Structure 1
Amino acid sequence: MNDFIKFTGPADILAFIPHTLGETPKESFVALTMQGNKLGATLRLDAPFQQDPVAFAQTVVSYLTADEAATGSLLVIYTDEDTTDDPRPYSGHVQALRAELDTAGMPLQDAWLVTSELWRNYHCTDTSCCPAQPLDSITTSNGNAALIYRGSAVAGFTEPAPFTGDAAAREVIAAHKPDGWPEDLEASRAAWAKVLDDPKSLSTEIAHQLAGALQHPTIRDYMMSDIVPHATEQFTSVMLGVFLGRPDWARVDTAQEVAFELMKTTPEGQRAPMLCLIGWLEWLKGKSSFAARYFKLALEDVGGYRLAELLGELVSRGLLADCSRDPKKAYDRRLRG
């Protein structure tokens, strides 16, 4: 089967974005690179409210230049900012971005504005030639139909399931927290690897064991990095999303699913490690907004939880995982359900 889908108009491109990001952006700038007549990388950043236009533009382009095959670019601005006085919101930022993209050799080929009610061409405000379009023209586009036919689905943020265990779970999990000896580390990593290889083997007893292991910071970090197999000396790089090859994204999805299952047997106050794990994997996939929400939930679960604070800082600074910037390594959800 031909993996390429032919897009014939702006509505098709606008339909593609929620599929590749996993959500419909809000108050965001989404930049796409073009490789000739093909779409390349997709980048989402929060709308630059009160940010310096030039600095913002330079940040965007620094990410897009990871696509070495890019010959051009597209821009979509999602916002409900009041545009009564200026029909082009963030015009200074777009102008600065256009200049930086020209300098980088990937000139801006077109741009669109999407609100909660309509979408239209960003540059052309002449309604006689560029009228505003209803949002349902995106969902009914041929591009959206083709993506759904290929098995793609736009998945929203997944709230953690409520705790369904018994009252003794908290003490059981606490009792399973390792002391940190090397044999504890190896036993925890082995149990974790077995469940990732066979998620159906996860029982309540094993869930409590893994939840307990995740309470130990060092063992937690090793279990997280074991999701993407690596050499020992690459530990720090893995946590920052720097991989020599393409991650096994199916294994990443499995790890997230297992973490959600663990939380069903883990009471509040012990869930922060699992929430951080899920958020970190979302960050690796390039879904920073989802990642930030999980880190926030982790801090609500355990106030001052250090890992959530550190990972949240990556997101707040606009840093992207290295793998999400490389089209050859990035998570591709277009053909995933």
Structure 2
Amino acid sequence: MSTIVTASGPAQFLSLVPSLLGFTPTRSVVLVPLARGRSLGAMRLDLPPDDLSDSVASSAVGMLCRIPTADAAMVVIYTDAAITGALPHRDLAEAIGRSADACGLKLVDAFTIAADGWGSHLDRRLPPQGRPLDELIPHAPGPGPVPEGDQSSGATLPRRSAGERRAVGGALRSLETALEVICGIPARAERVDRVDPAALESACQLDDLPTLFEDALRGDAGALTPMRAAALAWCFARPALRDVALVQWASDLSGGDRALDAQQKWEDGAPYPADLAERMWGEGPRPDTDRLQAALDLTRQVAALAPRPLRPGPLALCAWLSWALGRSTHADHYTREALKIEPTHGLSEIVQSFVQAGHIPDWAFRPAT
């Protein structure tokens, strides 16, 4: 059920913006689309240099216009600059206003929150020093705490001990030995002397990947056994298996079955189904947000536990899931970490290109149902 909060004035509206985003932005442009006076959420862009104001304004308003029910918008600019007789970034605010007017979108107001004050670019009565920042009291519209941190907060992988990582490395060697004995799949590392029964069981679970991925999603991500973490890291290091997980987590168990079948047929020369491929590009039905978040929690733990050579796979999944959830700043962080290890890692390069081009999933512009 939606929580409706009525802002009594500009100061209270601005105090609600962090709750709309889930963090307190810094050096950002925040767009709040409106439909009949009600907020439809919020979108954040990096604050551009002055010479890119016009192009960024055009792109920003273009994103607003992709929201079918939006008829107006409000803009909030966050900057480290101080107010020196006038609000910073007036050129950007005016450029957004011109673009919105050209698209038939009403710009209700445009604010700047500076280092030493705040104000509206449309309020000609604003004092030269702006209004005091202490008027902007953080406010949470629903149950739960006021968001802490900025757009970069929360992207660091969970802390796992060296002992936990060694246990996963040992489990991975046992799993690869079992797979070499059972299936003839060459191990990356030296074989262990004895095949662990748990490794044999885990190897057999790879016969039903969708069930493996679904069970992992339902469990406690922070309580992965070394063997389960090793099995997932082994899968995520293989693009064909990793993509099955991606499609499944963005749809459901039957979607994973279809993705696995499609992958096997594609390897035999059949075309890959378009409705499955479009998920990668952010098109098609909107995924369940809770499901994507559970998958992100899981892949973050796997990335934190996986041996360094296998880490790009789960990091790339972290990046895609973050991007699908509207957290492009986090997605960029994960792709950079993956590409430090493997400079030509395919999925990481794809997601990074999405972020750099400002490409947002199509479902972000459609209301949740």
Q: Answer whether contact 2:21 2:41 (CA < 8 A) is retained.
A: no
1:27 maps onto 2:27 in alignment: yes
**5+ residue gaps, structure 1:** 330-337
Distance 1:322 1:209 in 2: 32
| Partner residue of 1:139 out of 120, 126, 137 | 137
Residue 173 of structure 1 deviates from its aligned partner by: 2.8
Q: Distance between the aligned counterparts of 1:166 and 1:98, measured in 2?
A: 52
Matched, 1:194 2:215: yes
Task: State the match for 1:66 in structure 2.
Answer: 66
Name the structure 2 match of 1:327: 367
Judge which range, 123-132 or 259-268, deviates more.
123-132
**Cα-to-partner distance string for 1:102-157 (whole Å, 9 max, x where unaligned):** 122212111111124432223336444994121x43235xxx14x2x423642532
Equivalent position of 2:231 in the other structure: 209
| Alignment match, 1:309 | 349
* Distance (Å, rounded) in 2 between the aligned partners of 1:151 and 1:20: 13
SS of the residue aligned with 1:258?
helix
Q: Which moved more, 1:49-58 or 1:255-264?
A: 49-58
1:246-304 per-position Cα deviation (integer Å, ceiling 9, x unaligned): 32211111111212332343233322222221221221121211221122222234343
Question: Which structure is higher in RCO with an 8 Å CA cutoff and minimum separation 6?
Answer: 1
Name the structure 1 match of 2:339. 299
Aligned residues of 1:15 and 1:138 also touching (Cα < 8 A): yes
* 1:31-110 aligned within 5 A: 31-81=31-81, 84=84, 87-110=86-109
- Pair 239,185 (structure 1): closer, same or farther in 2 beyond 3 Å: farther
- Equivalent residues in 2 for 1:91-240, closer than 5 Å: 91-124=90-123, 126-128=125-127, 131-134=130-133, 136-140=134-138, 144-145=139-140, 147=141, 149-151=142-144, 153-154=146-147, 156-164=153-161, 165-167=164-166, 169-170=168-169, 172-173=171-172, 176=175, 187-199=208-220, 202-229=224-251, 230=255, 232=259, 233=273, 234-240=275-281
Aligned partner of residue 49 in structure 2, secondary structure = coil
Alignment check: 8 A CA contact 2:58 2:99 kept: yes
Separation (CA, whole Å) in 2 of partners of 1:298 and 1:73: 37
SS at 1:167 equivalent: helix
Q: Are 2:320 and 1:280 equivalent residues in the alignment? A: yes
Cα pair 1:80 1:115 within 8 Å, conserved: yes
Spell out the pairing of 1:253-272 with structure 2 (5 A cutoff): 253-272=293-312
- Shift in CA distance, 290/119, structure 1 to aligned 2, threshold 3 Å: farther
Q: Distance in 2 between matches of 1:255 and 1:20?
A: 22
Q: Deviations over 1:180-209 (max 9, x none)?
A: 9xx997533321111113337842211111
Question: For the Cα contact (< 8 Å) 2:292–2:325, is it kept in 1?
Answer: no
Equivalences, count: 319
SS in 2 for 1:31: strand
Assess, with a 3 A threshold, how the Cα gap between structure 1 residues 128 and 138 changes in structure 2: closer, same or farther. Answer: closer
Write the deviation string for residues 220-265 of structure 1: whole angstroms up to 9, x where unpaired.
Answer: 1221221111465322211122132x32211111111212332343
Larger Rg: 1 or 2? 2
Q: Deviations over 1:71-102 (max 9, x none)?
A: 21111111124654x72433333222212211
Structure 1 residue 50: Cα displacement: 4.7
State the identity %.
Answer: 23
In 1, distance between residues paired with 2:2 and 2:55? 40
What displacement does 1:216 show? 0.7
Q: 2:227 is matched by which residue type in structure 1?
A: E
Kindly provide the amino acid, as one letter, of the partner of residue 172 in structure 2: I
* Kept in 2: contact 1:199–1:254 (CA 8 A): no
Instruction: Evaluate the alpha carbon distance shift between residue 82 and residue 304 of structure 1 in structure 2; reply closer, same or farther with a 3 A threshold.
Output: farther
> What amino acid is the match of 2:229?
A
Q: 1:16 to 1:176 in 2, by over 3 A?
A: farther
Normalising by structure 2, what TM-score? 0.76
8 A Cα contact 1:18 1:25, kept in partner:
yes
